Amino acid sequence: MDGEDPRPLVILVHGLWMSGFELGVIKRRLEAGQLRAATFSYPTLRGSMGDHASSLLKFARAQRAQTLHFIGHSLGGLVILRTLESDDLPPGRAVLMGTPSQGSRAARNVARLLPFGKAILGAALNEECIEPADIPLRQWSGHRDIGVIAGSRRLGLGRLLAGLEGEHDGTVRVEETRLPGAKDHIVIATSHTGMLLSAEAVKQAMHFLRTGAFRH
């Protein structure tokens, strides 16, 4: 289309208890790397996962882009996965950062141990990570390449509440981020919240969006 910016557009999707403002550093780094970026905001404590995915799909369809990528942090990655199940959008790739694709032990412990635990996690996270207790293995069989970034710096609330073992980012275990069918997976030295400020996370994300693989 005449006058349309030819640069790929990246839609950023935030995680639980956030508004999108927290993705500002990632947005600026993407733009410095000659990518356009737009932030999608949604009420993480209200509405179902289906509600959020429908809103993201509507937002994505309203964008003008020949190539459309996605980056989601934590819960935002789950919203992206649900949205792309009915993907009729311009071609592109997606990166999930610290996304608990296989459920979250930390979230289950918050729901179990704290008063109103389920309420403070919101319906969407309960639906995806807590209920039912035996969550079936989530797999990706869509057309887009999906890349997954996990963290290994053990700083976060989940470390105190969940008794997490093995590699984890303080909130999500590395094994909880693994997504069969994803194109690539990488572990970097950052915490769950630290991914929002990590230069390495953005470099790896941009490399995947451009090539379909991380720089191992």
3 domain residue, yes or no = no
Report pLDDT for 118. 85
Instruction: Read off the pLDDT of each residue in 24-40 and give the average, rounded to a whole number.
Output: 98
Predicted confidence (pLDDT) per residue in 48-68, tens digit? 999 999 999 999 999 999 999
Total of domains in the chain: 1
205 domain residue, yes or no = yes
186 domain residue, yes or no = yes
Report pLDDT for 84. 96
Give kind and range of the element (H or E) at residue 120: helix 117-125
Residue 143's CATH number? 3.40.50.1820
120 domain residue, yes or no = yes
**Predicted confidence band of residue 130 (pLDDT cuts 50, 70, 90):** confident
Report pLDDT for 137. 87
**Predicted confidence band of residue 157 (pLDDT cuts 50, 70, 90):** low
Report pLDDT for 129. 81
Task: Output the CA torsion sign for 180, 49, 128, 13.
Answer: positive
Instruction: Read off the pLDDT of each residue in 163-174 and give the average, rounded to a whole number.
Output: 89
**Predicted confidence band of residue 107 (pLDDT cuts 50, 70, 90):** confident
163, exposed or middle or buried, with CB in 10 Å at 0-12, 13-18, 19+?
Answer: exposed
4 domain residue, yes or no = no
57 domain residue, yes or no = yes
The CA-atom distances, in angstroms, between 53 and each of 36, 44, 59, 78, 136 are: 22, 12, 10, 9, 20
- Model pTM score: 0.94
216 domain residue, yes or no = no
What is the SS3 assignment for 115? Answer: coil
Predicted confidence (pLDDT) per residue in 118-127, tens digit? 888 889 988 8
144 domain residue, yes or no = yes
**Predicted confidence band of residue 132 (pLDDT cuts 50, 70, 90):** low
Report pLDDT for 108. 84
Report pLDDT for 187. 98
Are β-strands 9-13 and 68-73 bridged in parallel, bridged antiparallel, or unpaired? parallel
Q: Which domain holds residue 35?
A: 9-211
Would you give the DSSP letter of residue 90?
P
Report pLDDT for 126. 86
